[in-house]
Structure 1
Amino acid sequence: MLSILSNAWALLLGMLLLMLGNGLQGTLLGVRGAIEGFDPAGLSWVMSAYFLGLLIGSRSAPRLIKRVGHVRVFAALASIISAAFILYAAAPDLVAWAVMRLIVGFCFAGVYVVTESWLNDTATNETRGQALSVYMMVSMAGLVLAQVVLTLADPGGFTLFIVISVVVSLSFAPILLSVSPAPVYETASPMTLRRLYRASPLGAVGQLLLGAGASAVFAMSAVYGSQQGLSVEEISLFVALVYIGGFVFQAPIGWLSDRMDRRLLIIASSGLGAAAAAAAFVAQGEGMLVFAAALLIGGTFNPLYSLLIAHANDFLPPEDMAAASGGMLFLNGLGSVGGPVIAGALMQAFGAPAFFAYLAATLTALCSYALWRSTRRASVAVEDQAAYAAVMPSASPVAVEVAQEVAIEQILAAEEEEAAEEEAAEEAAAEGAGAAKGSGAAQ
């Protein structure tokens, strides 16, 4: 890990600043929207526009990079992001915000592809898994730090918008001055949705439901806090706990994933998240329960993304894993576009606590479907399961495919080790038979 930090510290520092800016803009818009008098339904369309831009950008960015190069794409898209962050404060209008969120989502998709390609280029086969883990930790640190920055100035003014614009602008320097043009990362063509569903119904349907729930969590948490009457400091803590939960739960769920039936773990994880959301809804957002629920819900949604990919891999040959990940990424993105809109409409009709009712419903649907699927097909033996590789739901196709490469390498290594053990056992048996034959001849 130290070698990764020494080789890619500038790239990781730039990514930390980018994620700080991105994490702060989402929370800040939720708070500022309430100050401007925007209702939850209107803000939900603004929040959803980001995921639509991310979905479009994730499919367009590789072609754009191939045509003009990594450096130019990164510099252009990051500059647009920086400008959009300033314009939020200058144009407090729902339509203007939605258009800018769409543009920002598209640009961040390209920025993610570029930075993840550069990071992948700096790693070796032996360090690629560690590099992905460090990248995820840095990204999560930026998102959590963003919630702290929210409390340092009045969200009703211009200061925080200027801060996020400056932070993104500063991220250019360590990245552009430390990298060389990376080779274009050719992502695999996504597997058709029909074929993906046939290979892993739970993987396909699960990603669609997960996207619909996770996008609402990450986009509408600040809107919920504002509608519930929480202070800026409380909103900051609430959103930070969502990200902290996602980070803290990733490792233990990943550890369990390689040691038990993954469908049972999906059922348990989604069931725990649904119970936490239902409890917060019943409590109507009162007391400390809402903060505990944020931690558990974040800890559910983030690891489930990697868990569903790993489950789908259990039923796929290694050569199909990259294509399948592209299909699941698309389904997750498709669900993400609709999630905030549905949650916002419910909050508008039934009040802020409906936010938790929606999350409970999506997680219950995922838990129920996983439970039903467990009765339709035999589980894969634990020793035959594909390796679990942690990756964030916001990752680009590059990071998802890198995670798949790590999983494939572990599968191949395990197969080679098993073959070597079988060969050694056969040699030992042959030597034993020869020794026995020699002993019999001597007698």
Structure 2
Amino acid sequence: MRALIVSITALLGSTVILMTGSGLLGTLLSVRMGIEQYSPGITGLVMSAYFAGLMLGALGAGAVIRRAGHIRAFAVFAALVTAATLVHALWIDPWVWGALRVISGFSLAGLYMVIESWLNERGAGGARGRLFSLYQATSYLGLGLGQLLISVRPASGPELFMLNAVLLALCLVPVSLTRAIHPTPPERTPMALALVCRGSPLGVFICLGAGIVNGSAFALAPLFIVDHVGLQSVAVFMSAVILGGMLLQYPIGHLSDVFDRRRLLVAVNLALAAFAVVMLFVANSGLTVLAAVGLGYGGLTFTLYPLAVAHINDRVRSDNFVGVAGALLFLWGIGAVVGPIAIGQLMNLLGTEGLFHAAAACAVLMAAATLAARREQVPNEEQTAFVSMARTTTVITEMDPRADPGEQVQMDWIEEMQTSQETEAAAP
């Protein structure tokens, strides 16, 4: 395992830098639009454009990679997103920013696709599950670091945009210096959308709902924090939300593999609704309380999508795992586009608290839909394993150990690393 990690250090380094820049940019734009006195409705519209670009990139960036090759395509995408970031500071206009968010989303999808293709190639021979988990942990680390950088300079000036551009440019360095062999260009895999809709309408509904809740949390939660405890608290709160998302993946995943998955979906959604309501009651209680509630809220929010994926994989038995996963990612993306737009308009009417009113309502609807589903539960021994899922591109689904029947699903990558190190130490 140690040798494998050393061989992908450059790729993981680029991942951390890239996710740090991506995490900083999203939060910075939300905060800056509040400073510029744009309404939550306009902010939601602009922020949703990123997810639209991400979906377009997931569908179209592969063609650029097939034409130019991985390293040159990586350079093209990094140049585009770096330039787009700098233009944000030069031209403050919501329509321009919306167009730039589409470009950023498309470019970041291309960057993710290059890294994920490389990691997928390195994961051959039984290591795919471990690489998948390591990539997830690295992604969460980068996103969390990005939130913390929001406080290093005033959000009202151009400095944070410059810092962001530096990060996005620096992600080129590790990949450009790698001596790893270029992976096979990503193949075109048709989405199995009709199969998913027929096989699990409930899973489709949960995927859409997860997109709404996830997308609006990233896009609009900073506005709520600025409104109630001030700009200086955004970094800590958003980091707590992301940390919660990372910490709850394993325990929720373990429970979903042991107990009735539909009951767990009901429990998670009701708990999410409860945390959203609690957030409304403690809105003016200070950063410590809000961060603690945000930890639980983020943890539950970011387990919805992988739970939905696991539920659908129980119902839809198909050899085209990547096509099914691509359809689910597409459904999540639709929710992530619609969520900030619709909830932003609600926040125009109810204030920034409208974010958590909407999140609670969505969670209750998802719980009610799960309870109303009358289809017979899949026996626990026949359930597919829960795996923490990134919402980036369809290439990541090829790394999912469930895509390979012979691959063991490894939930706890830290435990796997420790076991591997002990084995190496015991070897003569």
TM-score w.r.t. length of structure 2? 0.91
Structure 1: distance between partners of 2:234 and 2:403: 37
Gaps spanning 5+ residues in structure 1: where? 413-443
Determine which structure has greater relative contact order: mean sequence separation of CA pairs < 8 Å that are 6+ residues apart, divided by chain length.
Answer: 2
8 Å CA contact retained: 2:321, 2:403: no
Superposed displacement of residue 316, structure 1 = 2.6
Question: Which residue of the partner structure matches residue 192 of structure 1?
Answer: 193
- Which amino acid in 1 is paired with 2:271? L
Superposed displacement of residue 281, structure 1 = 2.2
Superposed displacement of residue 229, structure 1 = 4.0
Question: Which residue of the partner structure matches residue 383 of structure 1?
Answer: 381
Structure 2: distance between partners of 1:354 and 1:25: 23
Structure 1: distance between partners of 2:322 and 2:30: 35
Question: Which residue of the partner structure matches residue 218 of structure 2?
Answer: 218
Superposed displacement of residue 406, structure 1 = 4.8
Matched, 1:401 2:402: no
Superposed displacement of residue 409, structure 1 = 3.0
- Specify the structure having the higher radius of gyration (Cα): 1
8 Å CA contact retained: 1:26, 1:219: yes
Question: Which residue of the partner structure matches residue 44 of structure 2?
Answer: 44
Distance change >3 Å, CA 408–CA 200, structure 1 → 2: farther
Tell me the alpha carbon deviations over residues 406-427 of structure 1, each in whole angstroms, 9 at most, x when there is no partner: 5633589xxxxxxxxxxxxxxx
**What is the SS of the residue equivalent to 1:314?**
helix
Bigger shift: 65-74 or 144-153?
Answer: 65-74
Matched, 1:255 2:254: yes
Bigger shift: 314-323 or 269-278?
Answer: 314-323
Bigger shift: 279-288 or 356-365?
Answer: 279-288
Structure 1: distance between partners of 2:258 and 2:107: 39
- Which amino acid in 1 is paired with 2:398? E
Distance change >3 Å, CA 12–CA 248, structure 1 → 2: same
For residues 317-328 of structure 1, the aligned pairs below 5 Å read 317-328=317-328
Structure 1: distance between partners of 2:323 and 2:202: 17
For residues 8-27 of structure 1, the aligned pairs below 5 Å read 8-27=8-27
8 Å CA contact retained: 1:55, 1:106: yes
Matched, 1:336 2:352: no
Structure 2: distance between partners of 1:185 and 1:257: 31
Superposed displacement of residue 402, structure 1 = 2.1
Tell me the alpha carbon deviations over residues 241-273 of structure 1, each in whole angstroms, 9 at most, x when there is no partner: 110010000011111121111111111111111
**What is the SS of the residue equivalent to 2:189?**
coil
8 Å CA contact retained: 1:211, 1:332: yes
- Which amino acid in 2 is paired with 1:243? I
8 Å CA contact retained: 1:44, 1:220: yes
RMSD between aligned residues: 1.7
Superposed displacement of residue 336, structure 1 = 0.9
Superposed displacement of residue 139, structure 1 = 0.9
Structure 2: distance between partners of 1:381 and 1:104: 43
Structure 2: distance between partners of 1:317 and 1:410: 17
Superposed displacement of residue 209, structure 1 = 1.2
Superposed displacement of residue 291, structure 1 = 2.4
Question: Which residue of the partner structure matches residue 183 of structure 2?
Answer: 182
Structure 2: distance between partners of 1:350 and 1:100: 29
TM-score w.r.t. length of structure 1? 0.88
Tell me the alpha carbon deviations over residues 387-415 of structure 1, each in whole angstroms, 9 at most, x when there is no partner: 222212x2210112321545633589xxx
For residues 1-150 of structure 1, the aligned pairs below 5 Å read 1-150=1-150
8 Å CA contact retained: 2:129, 2:408: no
Superposed displacement of residue 290, structure 1 = 3.0
Question: Which residue of the partner structure matches residue 436 of structure 1?
Answer: none
Superposed displacement of residue 105, structure 1 = 0.5
Question: Which residue of the partner structure matches residue 155 of structure 2?
Answer: 155
**What is the SS of the residue equivalent to 1:370?**
helix
8 Å CA contact retained: 2:71, 2:175: no
8 Å CA contact retained: 2:229, 2:284: no
Distance change >3 Å, CA 337–CA 353, structure 1 → 2: same
Tell me the alpha carbon deviations over residues 195-224 of structure 1, each in whole angstroms, 9 at most, x when there is no partner: 312211221111011111110011111122
Structure 2: distance between partners of 1:219 and 1:188: 30
Bigger shift: 289-298 or 240-249?
Answer: 289-298
Structure 2: distance between partners of 1:262 and 1:187: 32
**What is the SS of the residue equivalent to 1:184?**
coil
**What is the SS of the residue equivalent to 1:319?**
coil
Q: Among the aligned pairs, what percent are the same residue?
A: 33
Question: Which residue of the partner structure matches residue 268 of structure 2?
Answer: 269
Question: Which residue of the partner structure matches residue 349 of structure 2?
Answer: 349
Structure 2: distance between partners of 1:213 and 1:306: 14
- Which amino acid in 2 is paired with 1:396? T
Paired residues in the alignment total 407
Distance change >3 Å, CA 223–CA 407, structure 1 → 2: farther
- Which amino acid in 2 is paired with 1:181? H
8 Å CA contact retained: 1:388, 1:407: no
Superposed displacement of residue 135, structure 1 = 0.7
Gaps spanning 5+ residues in structure 2: where? 410-428
Structure 1: distance between partners of 2:208 and 2:3: 37
